[in-house]
Each structure stands twice: as C-alpha cells, then as structure tokens.
Structure 1
C-alpha cells in the first residue's frame, strides 16, 4: 500500500480548513513597507507551513510506517517547528498567527495530560515575546498568540470528550449485543442438547427391541441438530454489521442447514439505497423462519422499494418478539412500513417492508 492510499483525507481537511486565517499575515506582509526578499521569503514560509501542516494531519497515523505513533508525531512536529522559527525570523511578529496551529497540533492528537504542558509553553513564550518587543499598534497580535490558542484548546477538549462518549456508547451497544447473543445461544443449545440427549438415550434402549422406533428417534435427532445449527448460525450473524449480499448468502446457508428449500434473489443491487435496511429485514425474517415457522420453503423477493419474505409454515400468531419489534422501529425510522400477515393462499407467513417515505436506507 502506498503512502498516498493511507492518507487520511478527512483529518487533513478538518485541520486545513482554518489555514485560510494565514492569509491575514501574508497580506500584511505584502502591503507594508519592506524589502522584496522579506515579502517573498515570508510568503513562502507561510505557504510551506500550511502545506506541511495539512500533510502532517493526513499522514500522522501511518507515515513513516516504521515509526511508532509517538515517533510519527515528532517526525512531523520537527519541520513545523523549524518553519515557525524561520517565519518568526523573517516575518517578525506576524509569525504569531502560527501559534494556534501549533497548539492544535498538540491538542487534537494527544490527550490533555500530554498536550497541556507544551501548549502552555507555546502560548506563554509567544505572548511574552509580543509583550516584550511589540509596539503599541502591534499588541493586537495577542489575539493570535493568546486568545485563539485558548479557544483552539477548548475546542479540542470538547472534540475529544465527544469522541470518548461516542466510543463508550458503541462499546456498550456491542456489549449488550454480545450478551444477547450469549443468552440466545445458551437457550438454543440448552434446550436442543437436552432433547437430543433424551432421544439418544431412548434410541439406545430401542435399538434392540424396536429398531424401527430407534431409527425414527435417530432421524429426529438429526433433524433437531440441523435446526439447532441453523439457529446458532442465524444468531451469531447478529454480531456482524449486515450487507445485503452477505445476508442473502447467510440466509441460503441457514435455510439449507435447517432443511428448508429457499428461493432467493440473485441481484442484490435491485435494493439500491435501501440495501442496508433490507439486509436487516432479511436477517430477522429468515432467522424467524428457521426458528419458529416449521416451514419447508422460504422465498425472499427484493425490489427497489420493497422486500418480501414468505414461508409455508404454521403461520404468524400475532406476537412480536424483541427482534421483530426492533425491526419495525428501524423500518419506520427509515420512512418505511412493515407488515406481518398470513401468506396469501397458504398457512404460512408474509413479512413485507415497503419504503413509502422520502427517506431511504439507514446506517445505524
């Protein structure tokens, strides 16, 4: 993988959007009286700082690849610091406009415990320099060396807190999901293995006295094992974020394992922007067919604005479990409707989702 393929465009853009502020010192440098070389060199240094700053945020997480994260941080800090010092030597107090960016370089990637000290050093030293050498008309530069860095640091703290809360929320959701899967697998296997054990013991007693009955018990054991395997597979797939192609293939395997004939679509692209939502529908509906329907056949039909799953099982009893009620909420949030009814002309069940609103798909 090339270094450019590892470039974090989002991080670079978020960092670079504020670089437009550097137009202020560049314009001041160009319009005030001074030697031409100073104007050219100063402008070049501001441009160089902006370029290195933008690239640093894009590559800090990956390049140089042989360095540790701390090493990469220092690797990009060195040219930024050198350019900032050189800018100060050429452009004078106008280099103070670089201070908020140097503070941001520490504040956003690093935790507060590691960024506060260098940020304070940069702010105090640059502000002291301004107070020491600036003339009365130049004291406004303190806005760049004092006020702006404080604002930048507070924004960084708020951003890091929001990231932590989002990560905690994600971790909690994953923990709850794993707990739910563990409970389901325990319940499924506990019941199935108990039945398999009892039937195996019965078959062992019948094998000599009634071979036909023993053979029937063994056939039931095989059927229960296949169904349990399909249920476990369907349950474990909940740990994955769905995609429609993967869910159709997973449905094919689960139905085949349970001994249920399947009619599934070959082109998942028909769903268009609804693909993510329809993958949840296929997952939940097929899982219910495997677990509860007693069906011999299941059909999945997908179109641009609808998905329909039917089976020829014992039918829907009207009771919605957590999975189905959660799916209904997900569909309604995406602007669609979900109905669960008796399949037309059969004793089975039809799950139909239609997208009638203006929203399509979802990404939760």
Structure 2
C-alpha cells in the first residue's frame, strides 16, 4: 500500500516524498481513512510507529480541502504532555504542510510567552500545545479555542501519568461539543478507556501490534539477583565500566528517585526523569546526560518515551517490566544505526514470570550472566 492508495492529495504526497516517506506504517494505514471519513478515533500505538503522521496528514488534508477559512480562528488543537513532544509534532506539521496554505504554531511552558504570542498573531489554523501553557494563555485572555473543530490527544496515557487529566477536562469544556476527536495512547488502561468514553463519540478503534523482535546489534544478558542485592550489583557494573553512560529503567517514580540518591552516595553521577519531575528538570537531566555531565539517567517507561539518545552503549533494566513489549522498546534505545549495544537486566525471584513472558515474546532465552552477588 502507498500513501496514494490512501487518497492523499498530491500537494501532501510530494511533501511526504521529500521527507523520504515511501509507504504508510500500519497505524497510518488504519487511522488515515477513518480520520478522512471524519470519524472519532481511539488508537493504541507505541512511540516510533509513525502515529504523528497518522493524524497530522489527514487533518491537513481535511483543512486544505475547505475553500474558505476565517483567518482568526484556531480550528485544530493537538494536546501533548511535554515540550519535547509538542516541538516534534509541530516540526512534523511544518514538513507535511510545506505545499499547502495551512498555518500552524506551538506553545509550551518553561519559556517566555512573548515569541509564542507573536506566532499566534499569524493566525494559525493548527495549534500544538501543552495543557498548562494553553490554559495560562486562555486565562490571560490571549487565546480563544471556542472554534475548535478537531481535537487530538497524543500520548494520552502519559498525559494522565503526569497529572494533566483535570487540565484536559477543563480544556474540553472550552471547545465545541460538535468536533472530531482523536485519542492516541501507547497503552489502554481503564483510566484511558474512561477518558475516551467521556471525549469520543462512537469512535473507531485501531491497534498496532507492539514490536516483538529485538535488534541483532544488541547483546542481551540477565543477572539473577536477590532484590536486596540489586543496588550493589548496579554500582559494581557501573564502576566496572566507568567510561560508559547507561540508561537505567525502574518501574516507579519513587524507585527512580531512590536509586539516584543511592548512586550519588556511591560517587556515581546520576539524575532521574519521570512524570513527577517538572519539564525544566527533565530537560536539564537529559541535557546533562547527553553532554556527559552525568553518567546515569534513571527513567520510568512513560517519562523516557520519545527520548532519542545517540550513541547509548547500555540499557539496564534495574526492574523488569511487567509488560513484555516494554522490554523490547527499552532495549531498542541502544544498538541503533548499526552500532553495538548492551542490554542488561536484573531479575529477582518475584520477576521470573516477567522474564519468562519476555523470552516467550522475543523467541529465545536471554543469556544468564554470573556476578559477585549471587
């Protein structure tokens, strides 16, 4: 299947070709026809599956087809949980809309609002926003979203994890009930289903099967270790290869903070990123990690989503995920672009069932490594 088969208009087709897009991904194949048919959509898709184009391309096409546009109205609102994701989405709209007259802008917190206000003066039809800054500008009387006809919630599960559910509900009360709503989420817990039920009207549902294979460039190993010895083993491995950076995953925000404090006490530079951290704190931690000022970044899965770190030699699963597909996404952050990577997992007695599920998904047994704390 090609984008032409999805009846994408020539002006957008040429923009996609310029970006190197050849064939639509599964989430794009499933979502684009539904959106072009003006139906609400509930989509489950992981980061990296092409979901931004899955909603941006058809929205641009719907808006480009309208002969008359009131230049003062924002018609499409895309809500994103973080500054990083909002910027990525805005860049995608910039790429896909290069041949059509549909303006877009992005607003987010943590920076001065002056430049963003200047961008809004250009009368964008599409606005990408984080909830906090959006409500701030509305509260100042500087922004009107009463004419919204398209609403997109991207990474909705992360939005809830970061405590934005009340902000989202406040925003929804300010926009027309008659609209097309699209909700994208990597997971579908009960909280997301409840949110979807309150926002969507007779939605079509699509789901993309999570990735189940791991890259051959990633060397995987598992350390069978008691829960009480995990911290000792982690410090041992980090000191053994003191020159290498490592992305360490925990299951909880509390666990991430606790682990950072432990590492710092042992003289290992580290920082945590998770949903309870401010956007500024997450940006600072990521910058310090990329620049080499800290060696270890401890993250929860949702906070790490969408983060792109080049030349990452190691990923360490301090705690195994209880969803096997999450393991594949975690270790997929190393061994990129043909370079080799190392994926290390700690497994205590309570996590053996998780390990078995992971091995069943990837189709082979992970090599068991020896260590001093057995």
The reply to whether TM is greater than 0.5 is no
Q: Flag the structure with more relative contact order, 1 or 2, with Cα contacts below 8 A and sequence separation at least 6.
A: 2
TM-score (norm 2): 0.23
Largest Rg, 1 or 2: 1
Flag the structure with higher helix content: 1
